[in-house]
Structure 1
Amino acid sequence: MGYSIRNTGEIIMDVQKNYKYYAFISYSRKNSQAAAYLQRKLERFRIPVQKVDKQLLLPEQKYIKPVFRDKRDLEVSEKSFTENIKTAIKETRYLLVLCSPESASSYWVAEEIKYFLETHNNDFSLVVPVVFSGNPGSNDETECLPEILRRNEITDRNLPRMVADEGENVREGWENGLIQTISYMLKVKRESIKASIDAERVRFLKRCIFITIFALLIFIALTVWALHAEKKAGRNEIKAKEQTALARKNESIAKEQTALARKNESIAKEQTALAKQSFV
């Protein structure tokens, strides 16, 4: 979906345009880890659809995805690298620029921004600079905004910052930048975005707890079954030994009875012989 301007100056969606990507991340290779984090977290964010203008969503859309990052999403094709990038840029709704002194001096980042603006009616409101390091507007070696973005439409904004404030760790700084980025794209207050992220984290923990308890119950059931089987096997072994001992005893008795029978037979023969001698 694209944007158009009403007479009142209000930005609205052009519902005739359907984009393949929700956002395209433009970044310096030196900031690849942060770009991967941003892509992963954006695509996993569950949109609070009841708080978002329907014009900002695709039908049945529950997540901010797909988000294009060239290292992961470029497909093997006959097109050149540049043509593939241009195609992806044309088919994306927002351009996220991961801003750092490295990206500020990157030729490719500047080219991606220029091409995005060319294909999106030169609408800077669709460009989302995300400060990763450096100082926007400093115009020195710490400058993080590419030159094309050093203009009032950008610098007058409260830009998302993936930078830890005093007392925060790096993870917290990155998450704050993520929240600010989502807030800008969905036009929803940061508190609502943070609440959604916290709620998703709670749901994730509940799923983990449920899976852990379920796995524990299965383990307990298998342990009880194994103990029962072991106990039964022990009883069967004892019974088998008793039966073996009884069989050996019966065999011994049978041998004794056989020997006794032979002895009786021998005695009977002797008595018969003596009887014959008496008649003579």
Structure 2
Amino acid sequence: MAATTGPASIDDDVDFKYWAFISYSHQDEAWATWIHRSLEGYRLPRGVAGSDFRGEKVPKHLRPVFRDRDELAGGADLGGKLRRSLRDSRTLIVICSEKSAGSKWVNEEVRYFKSLGREDRVLCLIVSGEPYACGTPGAEHKECFPKSIRFQLDGEGEISSEPAEPLAADVRPGKDGKPDALLKLVAGVLDIGFDRLKQRDARRRKMRRIQWYAGSACGLIFGAAGYLLLADQGVGLPGKETIQLELDRRELSVMRAVASDEEIFSTAKRLRLDLSNAIHRAKEDSGWISQTLRDGEDDDLPDDPFSHSQAMAALCVAPERGPWSDDLLLKCARMTFVPEPGKSISGFQELYAPPEPSLKPFDSCGAFWFVNLLAASTRKEGLVPGSMRPALAEDLLEVQQALEPYRAGTGGWWMFPGADQTAPPNAYSASLALLALLECRKAGLPWMGSVERRDELLEATALWLRENFHQDGKAAGWRGTGENRYEIFDGLTLQIHATLLRAKNEAGIGIPDHILQAMERQLIDCASRTAAFPVASGEFESDIKVQGRAIQRKEAYRFLWYPWALVAMDGWLKMEKAEPRPKEQVVRIRRARAHLVMDIGPVLVDSLENNWLFMAAETLYGLSSVRED
């Protein structure tokens, strides 16, 4: 709720008695009692108390606040006293619910207060119902705003048909919550910015808590305070875990304070621009992006549609354009699907649909990133003109058709094509398949021409991944195949956590508790990592048949942990807003994310600016999840 700035509607010559008048239906008396006591009991922070409010000095408490049950019990002339009390009040606070919306007394109190020329001094506290539900057929009974709130008054002081824009705090589940709602109302009463008041209030509360701890520590000759700080810092003392748990639960950590979202988002933006610039420097005159970002090391490397498309997908997902104009970004994004001069087929077709069947068919990973690129470029605002969208739809269908031989009927996906092979479906291919399906869903694109087919595959792939989760003692996650079939990979597990969280948040596919608990442990543990944390590689091997011949295929992939930890943390924090988790878990995952962005990010990005393209592309993709929604 934004406070108004300097309205001249309060009469300068009125000797106000009340800071606020609470208007409510007596069926909402519990809420009226709460806000009455809270407003009068709230001690204004230093810098607010004592400041000037329309020629008056703001007291330490907003007292008195008028509530008719307390002020007018037994009054003979109730109407007259009510009007006098309204005139004597600087602000009107209306408790809004389905009951108050139907109360003629609440409606009349609001109308009369507005008629005094104080329309901009009306504040709302929504406790139930829905604002403006009366405009939705069948939902009229849910309306919480009285008519005099919804509309302005005319020149005669009567309710007009001109819509009003009431300022409101909201204590309904999932909204402001009581603490922020109280602060919003206090800010509205005093015509000060909510953010300013909240910051001052937070500083005061933190200082009070610190003072409380310090006072307790004085009783123990300061030893307890030193013990708490050392335990907070992570020194291996008895009870360290319990102390840190309690500090995190109350957001009181001093030695492990979490950076603000503003600092995190600002750093992530700078890192994304650094990577975007590095990829731009690696662009060749032809439009292809070199496989390596190292200067002078790309002369002998062929153009690689896979890593090129991975980089273009990341650039399309990134919120900033950087050095990439729309025309340049679209041109480079289309390179994979447009034949080069002198060639009859595109880079994609050379890999997945050559004129003659290849004796070394390409693995599925590249095709999934081609899907991601097409979906990301389609939903990138203002990038693809309408005339080009049919061509992109044809490209998408061609890629999805090429992926059909890699799909197992169980919901899993193979690294290499064909059901007649020795390797089982693997978690890495399935995680990339799930990511591609999610990107198509987010862009509103079908799979093989059908959104129903897309959603069926999305759910089947997510369920397959859930069923193939392993818990091996302390290690929990997803294994490789072949020689790696007993090894749980950290980076792969983080990537699957990230995609499963997206599937939950975007498609409503649940995550079992045992996977969620293991996920939270792994994300929290990221707070102790450094930029040198090892990146594991997995090898995929299978005997396949091509043109009746048995062929052995091998591929190795590096499972980067950093970008997918960021995506997973973003997904977890979004999930937590809808399904609250313990407070200490929220604090610890926010702390881990801040550490990855603020501490590891600059070191890692600096090294990636002179490294392989796919590593920079995946990292840019991950950093793009760290932004303000």
AA aligned opposite 2:57:
P
Q: Mapping of 1:120-159 within 5 angstroms? A: 120-121=116-117, 123-139=118-134, 140-151=140-151, 155-157=164-166, 159=168
Closer/same/farther in 2, CA of residues 158 and 24 from structure 1, 3 Å limit: closer
Which of 19, 22, 25 aligns to 2:22? It is 25
Q: Hey, what's the Cα distance between the residues in 2 that align with 1:98 and 1:154?
A: 19
Closer/same/farther in 2, CA of residues 65 and 196 from structure 1, 3 Å limit: farther
How many Å apart are 1:206 and its aligned residue?
A: 7.3
How many Å apart are 1:215 and its aligned residue?
A: 11
AA aligned opposite 1:129:
C
Closer/same/farther in 2, CA of residues 75 and 32 from structure 1, 3 Å limit: closer
Which of 4, 7, 26 aligns to 1:11? It is 7
Number of the residue aligned with 2:190: 186
Closer/same/farther in 2, CA of residues 70 and 208 from structure 1, 3 Å limit: farther
Contact 1:131–1:159 (8 Å) recurs in 2: yes
SS in 2 for 1:160: strand
Q: Hey, what's the Cα distance between the residues in 1 that align with 2:85 and 2:211?
A: 35
Deviation sequence 1:76-134 (CA, Å, 0-9, x none): 65x4222222221111111111000100001111121122223x22x310111221111
Q: After the TM superposition, list the runs of 4 or more consecutive aligned residues in structure 1 that deviate by more than 6 angstroms.
A: 206-216
Q: Hey, what's the Cα distance between the residues in 2 that align with 1:127 and 1:159?
A: 9
Structure 2: give runs of 5+ residues left out of the alignment.
135-139, 153-161, 221-629
| TM-score of the pair, normalised by structure 2 | 0.29
Closer/same/farther in 2, CA of residues 157 and 72 from structure 1, 3 Å limit: closer
Number of the residue aligned with 1:58: 56
AA aligned opposite 2:128:
S
Number of the residue aligned with 2:199: 195
Which of the two has higher C-alpha Rg?
A: 1
Closer/same/farther in 2, CA of residues 100 and 51 from structure 1, 3 Å limit: same
Number of the residue aligned with 1:83: 80
AA aligned opposite 1:58:
E
1:173 has 2:177 as partner: yes
AA aligned opposite 1:32:
E
Closer/same/farther in 2, CA of residues 60 and 132 from structure 1, 3 Å limit: closer
SS in 1 for 2:197: helix
AA aligned opposite 1:114:
R
Number of the residue aligned with 1:161: 170
Q: Hey, what's the Cα distance between the residues in 2 that align with 1:35 and 1:110?
A: 16
Contact 2:122–2:166 (8 Å) recurs in 1: no
How many Å apart are 1:207 and its aligned residue?
A: 8.2
Contact 2:122–2:167 (8 Å) recurs in 1: no
Deviation sequence 1:176-225 (CA, Å, 0-9, x none): 22122122222322233223444554576578779989999xxxxxxxxx
Q: Hey, what's the Cα distance between the residues in 2 that align with 1:51 and 1:181?
A: 14
Q: Hey, what's the Cα distance between the residues in 1 that align with 2:96 and 2:24?
A: 7
Number of the residue aligned with 1:228: none
Q: Mapping of 1:84-123 within 5 angstroms? A: 84-118=81-115, 120-121=116-117, 123=118
Deviation sequence 1:126-164 (CA, Å, 0-9, x none): 111221111111101110010111127875355211223
Q: Hey, what's the Cα distance between the residues in 1 that align with 2:81 and 2:218?
A: 46
Q: Hey, what's the Cα distance between the residues in 1 that align with 2:73 and 2:21?
A: 15
Q: Hey, what's the Cα distance between the residues in 1 that align with 2:69 and 2:207?
A: 30
Closer/same/farther in 2, CA of residues 82 and 215 from structure 1, 3 Å limit: farther
AA aligned opposite 1:98:
I
SS in 2 for 1:97: strand
Q: Hey, what's the Cα distance between the residues in 2 that align with 1:47 and 1:114?
A: 30
Contact 1:136–1:155 (8 Å) recurs in 2: no
AA aligned opposite 2:95:
L
Contact 1:162–1:178 (8 Å) recurs in 2: no
SS in 2 for 1:135: coil
Contact 2:132–2:143 (8 Å) recurs in 1: yes
Contact 2:19–2:189 (8 Å) recurs in 1: no
Q: Hey, what's the Cα distance between the residues in 2 that align with 1:28 and 1:207?
A: 41
AA aligned opposite 2:89:
T
Number of the residue aligned with 1:72: 70
AA aligned opposite 2:77:
S
Q: Hey, what's the Cα distance between the residues in 2 that align with 1:29 and 1:10?
A: 33
Contact 2:24–2:95 (8 Å) recurs in 1: yes
Kindly, what percent of the aligned residue pairs are identical?
25
SS in 2 for 1:20: coil
| TM-score of the pair, normalised by structure 1 | 0.60
Number of the residue aligned with 2:37: 40
Contact 2:92–2:121 (8 Å) recurs in 1: yes
Contact 1:135–1:143 (8 Å) recurs in 2: yes
Structure 1: give runs of 5+ residues left out of the alignment.
1-8, 167-171, 217-280
Q: Hey, what's the Cα distance between the residues in 2 that align with 1:25 and 1:130?
A: 10
Q: Hey, what's the Cα distance between the residues in 2 that align with 1:57 and 1:161?
A: 30
Contact 1:133–1:144 (8 Å) recurs in 2: yes
Number of the residue aligned with 2:244: none
AA aligned opposite 2:121:
L
Q: Hey, what's the Cα distance between the residues in 1 that align with 2:56 and 2:38?
A: 19
Q: Hey, what's the Cα distance between the residues in 2 that align with 1:40 and 1:148?
A: 26
Closer/same/farther in 2, CA of residues 43 and 209 from structure 1, 3 Å limit: farther
How many Å apart are 1:20 and its aligned residue?
A: 0.2
Q: Hey, what's the Cα distance between the residues in 2 that align with 1:161 and 1:65?
A: 23
Deviation sequence 1:27-52 (CA, Å, 0-9, x none): 01111111111111111223346358
AA aligned opposite 1:163:
R
Closer/same/farther in 2, CA of residues 10 and 147 from structure 1, 3 Å limit: same
Q: Hey, what's the Cα distance between the residues in 2 that align with 1:60 and 1:36?
A: 23
AA aligned opposite 1:162:
V
How many Å apart are 1:67 and its aligned residue?
A: 0.7
Q: Hey, what's the Cα distance between the residues in 2 that align with 1:145 and 1:209?
A: 44
Q: Which has the higher helix share?
A: 1
